[in-house]
Structure 1
């Protein structure tokens, strides 16, 4: 009997991961395959046209996953590793094969503080090193501490870049157009404020701002028509999904559906004229990170649905309908502290687990 128990325990330990390696799809369980493990503080990933994958780690390391092998890519410039800051998002633009240009968001030292910055570099064919790393945009100096850097990058249909920035833990700055804190920026590929931005002619505003009044947007995606959505952290309650429109004010910290961590009331309530309402909000908070709006390529039933990861509870939240509402929570050990989620070119759903230090693929 004593010999049988350790054998049984070993068999159960082997069986447990197998039972967890599926998630519920519209027509039954969807297999989940681990693509790479051993990641340390992974933050984002992006697909290259040759089917390899770039993965960022907050510590400043960049990996390329190719043919099942993880290769470190050099050439990353100075990164501020402070609190929630580090090397953050990575974007492979649509014309990458012609330009070989990549874009990154990261924390950058600015005197005694740090801010969110946008950098670009080239990734030559056949190389394992970036070339020409340069910072092409950084938010106004003046933020200290290590909280709320954002930060996601999305390429608009016109080729401009949307970049989300957290309010850096400085709540009033999200309503101050003289600073980028708590905003969505719209930039050219050279890092200049994009033509058509709403505050280009306002001498008291930062011209790159597209929308403001955000707290800490850590997810951003375009829907099928090219409209931008962001998911952002509230405080104790009040995590939001917002449809982003030009020049709009999303209210933080004047309005919110949450409360401060102390339990105190936030601002003036849940609504105010001139401030936008969220498309959806969570209460209690789930700490959403990453955002994907699915094309329906492999699962037509999910076309147009939004998917975001929960850092707090470890699941994928699926949102659908009009008005938008949460319809499903996909959860397994693989979804622990889920940091990013993307649709692959073949329609598979990939997600990055900070808790597991691994990248996974969902596909039939």
Structure 2
């Protein structure tokens, strides 16, 4: 049953029973026996994110800075004009896109990108109105509502958007930009999950709402490279993030909690030096699930459709390194990787349409947009 989102419930979660001992799912083997058929709908240059409009239409962003409208019933993708200039280099570029809670009436979308500028680049959250007329599409009324400052260098921007189930606020992942110590600095909006109003301001009721600055925006701390954020059917918020050499994580997100990066990890540094493991620092929250070796998770969606009844309530997670789609079952605060499907490319994002079909995109050039339906 869906649990309505309230701040009282979120804060009460801090007093909930401790997370169960995390499971290492890294030894799960991918299967080539897929319960779905994959229809190639379109191809793009390094596609990054999907936003479902309805069962037939969706929005796709590409890392180089393009946005498209796609209709799987036919016709070429329609490029959306008015997209701002982005810093496209390495992991940076045009990132996530999400429909506003009142999209049907307002036609407003929210999206993230890495913005160039003097002194480096920064993660930006913007919103605009999507206008369509005579086969063309454009963004109007572009408004940058949040900007990570100060600017600097580095990849790992995060940038995933999740609207609260009540539609009155949003959550935004902000990566550490490859500067690990920032994740534990309360005065920098890096390595954090932020909770903002629909206008990009600190949301009332945040753990340090009265502190001002980044502290007022912060919901959780200690994240590395979070490319998946979504609410489960029961109203709980889940996030996955990439570890270093080992230690990709799936975390249950609760207000005010510190998840430990870079002080602890189930992985090691790229130069081979060890990182203390989470059990050595009980003040940090352990993941519900971790992967060693890594899958490089990207994209997160919970399945509530009817086309795949066995998947109901499961989390679907793309794997960049493993070129897989993982199905993870959730039981309270525990998580288990139930199965892992071999795909033919690096899966960057996952979305579920109202008809129950699953959409995925490949982080390739060209990368395919695929619609998955039962065999």
Give me the TM-score of the superposition, normalised by structure 1.
0.88
2:8 maps to: none
Q: 1:31 to 1:237 in 2, by over 3 A?
A: same
- The whole-number CA distance in structure 1 between the counterparts of 2:139 and 2:103 is 14
Tell me: CA distance 1:32–1:23, structure 2 relative to 1, closer, same or farther (3 Å).
Answer: farther
Matches of residues 339-358 of structure 1 in structure 2 within 5 Å? Answer: 339-355=348-364, 357-358=367-368
| Alignment of 1:137 onto 2:146 | yes
Give CA-to-partner distance per residue, 1:121-177, whole Å, 9 cap, x none.
1012435111011211011214313x1101211111122111111100111110011
Alignment match of 2:111 (pick from 104, 116, 122):
104
Q: 1:319 Cα shift?
A: 1.3
Residue of structure 1 in register with 2:25 after alignment:
none
State whether residues 256 and 270 of structure 1, in contact with CA within 8 Å, keep that contact through their aligned partners in structure 2.
no
Alignment equivalent of 1:231, drawn from 240, 248, 263: 240
Quick check: 1:324 aligned with 2:335?
yes
From the superposition, tell whether residues 205 and 43 of structure 1 become closer, same or farther in structure 2 (CA, over 3 Å). closer
Distance 1:102 1:231, change over 3 A: same
Where does 1:256-275 land on structure 2 (aligned, <5 Å)? 256-267=265-276, 269-275=278-284
Are 1:49 and 1:97, in contact at CA under 8 Å, matched by a contact in 2? Answer: no
By how many angstroms is 1:252 displaced? 0.2
Determine if the alignment matches structure 1 residue 32 to structure 2 residue 38.
Answer: yes
Aligned-CA RMSD value: 1.8
SS of residue in 1 equivalent to 2:77: strand
Tell me, in whole angstroms, the C-alpha distance in 2 between the residues paired with 1:46 and 1:30. Answer: 21
1:156 aligns with 2:164: yes
Q: How does 1:165-184 map to 2 (within 5 A)?
A: 165-184=174-193
Q: 2:370 aligns with which of 327, 351, 360?
A: 360
Higher-Rg structure is 1
Aligned to 1:45: 50
The number of residue pairs the alignment matches comes to 336
Q: Tell me: CA distance 1:313–1:139, structure 2 relative to 1, closer, same or farther (3 Å).
A: same
1:64 maps to which residue? 69
Instruction: Label 1:125 to 1:49 Cα distance change in 2 as closer, same or farther (>3 A).
Output: farther
Contact 2:278/2:284 (8 A) holds in 1 = no
Query: What displacement does 1:179 show?
Result: 0.5
Q: Distance in 2 between matches of 1:222 and 1:125?
A: 30
Structure 1: distance between partners of 2:293 and 2:32 = 23
Shift of 1:42: 0.5
TM-superposed CA distance for 1:95, in Å, is 1.2
Higher strand residue share: 2
Deviation at 1:212, TM superposition (A): 1.0
Q: Return structure 1 stretches of 4+ with deviation > 6 angstroms.
A: none
Q: Distance in 2 between matches of 1:45 and 1:271?
A: 39
Query: Structure 2 stretches of 5 or more lacking a match?
Result: 1-30
1:12 matched residue in structure 2 = none
The aligned counterpart of 2:250 is 241
Q: Does 1:122 align with 2:129?
A: yes
Cα distance in structure 2, aligned partners of 1:142 and 1:76: 21
Aligned positions of 1:208-223 closer than 5 A: 208-223=217-232
* Structure 1 range deviating more: 231-240 or 73-82: 73-82
Q: Tell me the equivalent position of 2:4.
A: none
Matches within 5 A, 1:81-100: 81-100=88-107
SS in 2 for 1:97: helix
**TM-score of the pair, normalised by structure 2:** 0.85
* Equivalent residue in structure 1 for 2:259, among 250, 255, 269: 250
**Tell me, what secondary structure is at the counterpart of 2:371?**
strand
Aligned 1:294-313 pairs, distance under 5 A? 294-313=303-322
Q: Structure 1: any 5+ residue segments left out of the alignment?
A: 1-21
Q: Distance in 1 between matches of 2:209 and 2:223?
A: 20
Supply the distance in 2 between the matched residues of 1:64 and 1:267 (Cα, whole angstroms): 46
Higher relative contact order (CA 8 A, sep 6+): 2
